[in-house]
Amino acid sequence: MSRFGLSERTAIEAGIYRRASFSQIAKEIGSTARSVSAEIRRNCTLSIAPKFNGKDCRFAAECTRQCVCGDFLCRQECVFCRKIDCRTLCPAYSPLSCMRIQSPPYVCNVCQLRRGCVCDRAYYVATQAHAVAMRRYSESRSKPQTHGDELAALDKLVTPLIKKKGQPLTHIYSTHRDKIPVSERTLYRYIDAGMLGVGNLDLRRKVSYRQRRKQKKAIDTITNKKFRETRTYEDFLAYLKKHPGTNYVEMDTVLGTQGKGKRMLTMLFVQQSLMLIFLMRDGKANSVVEHFDWLTSALGLKTFRKLFPVILTDNGSEFKYTLEMERTIDGANRTKIFYCDPQASWQKAHIEKNHEYIRYVIPKGKSLDPYTQEDFTILANHINNTKRLQYNGKAPIELAASDEFRELFRVTGIQPIPADDVMLKPRLLKP
């Protein structure tokens, strides 16, 4: 990285305007006078002065010389000649150059003559100098830093994990950081440049998404559903404001072919991005309540309350039994249910994004009927063991370390798996 940051460059600019020496400026920023001098000359901004007919001779505007080239039949003034550059032949040529910028401070920031000056000028502006330095650094880093056997070893490591197992590049980099000699960003650049055995089409995140269809305006019958009363998204935000730090859960369903047959009930712990996947025999509200009752029975009411204090879901009819979800069979409170606004899936963006991992293995439009709960548990394990960039290379399962989560893992079958065994390809599940 560059020797100086924006703060140091700002101090250099201020020192120039104070007419401080390079030694004084260097002392202020903890550097050397030589480095300050090099910084100013290297990253200053040039202002090119207008030239008479494009000629940088100080006499060009008044020059009336003719026949400098030796063609005595020519009647045109040499300064306007387009065949021959008179500057290369004229003995009176004197370039427009300011001697002041040839010596410290090498710029015109504090020059009193700069307004009327006809010479090219140089200025040191901290923000522009920083931008120039960062651009130069970026260009230097764009060149391949890995060659030969080292590049071949990198390709041997990365390519199979992407092509055969569908692992995200972030997961690979986080797992094998000690074996990869470049940054994750550089890895993306190598793939983009075709230096590895995988291309951009193998990286799901770099493949363009289809433009979403414009959502239809929500109809009043949805907006006015009774189960939404006092449980709107606005009520949800007010509750979180009143109870800061609440680890809420987002809930949704994933459909199979044409919304028929079996489906998934998904629950995502937002703070950890940990996802549970349950098999539903159908899309009826009773099926959802059954899973709530089973989890309560398996975990115990106390543990359930700690894990699921608040649940945010959408307005699907499968979630209409609000009271049955909120309360046990005995009538004890176990959670609070809130609903997103109609046609506003972005309000539970975390689980919507996590569904992408499901679609890597089970493409959209494929029937869920052949799958079992065991299959969905395997899928959940591979998703929850995928390392994430937003968590500094940690997987969701690593972030869920409380006693309550350990009990949840025991009940649901969630468990750690080796990082290199993570697979997000359709062949993970063979129904």
**pLDDT given for residue 2 in this prediction:** 47
pLDDT tens digits for range 104-155: 899 998 888 877 777 888 899 999 999 888 887 776 655 555 567 788 888 8
Q: Please say if the pLDDT value at position 221 is more than 70.
A: no
Q: Please say if the pLDDT value at position 208 is more than 50.
A: no
Paired tokens of 155: 């390709």
**pLDDT given for residue 222 in this prediction:** 45
Phi/psi zone of residue 309: left (φ > 0), alpha (ψ -120 to 50 degrees), beta?
alpha
pLDDT tens digits for range 29-56: 999 999 999 999 989 988 877 777 778 7
CA distances from 394 to 3, 84, 401 (A): 32, 68, 12
Strands (E), 328-380: 336-339
Q: Please say if the pLDDT value at position 79 is more than 80.
A: yes
**pLDDT given for residue 220 in this prediction:** 39
For the chain, domain boundaries? 6-140, 148-206, 220-428
What percentage of the chain carries pLDDT values higher than 90?
45
Number of Cβ within 10 Å of residue 325's Cβ equals 23
Q: C-alpha angle 6/183/379, rounded to 5°?
A: 125
Kindly report each contact of residues 416-420 with a partner whose C-beta sits within 8 Å and lies 24 or more positions away, as own/partner.
416/385, 417/381, 417/382, 417/385, 419/171, 419/174, 419/175, 419/385, 419/387, 419/395, 420/161, 420/175
Query: pTM of this prediction?
Result: 0.63
Average pLDDT over residues 197-215: 61
Domain 220-428: assigned CATH number: 3.30.420.10
pLDDT tens digits for range 379-407: 999 999 999 988 889 999 999 989 999 99
Q: Please say if the pLDDT value at position 207 is more than 60.
A: no
Average pLDDT over residues 159-188: 86
C-alpha span between 372 and 377 (Å, rounded): 9
Strands (E), 270-399: 274-280, 310-313, 336-339
Higher per-residue confidence, 347 vs 365: 347
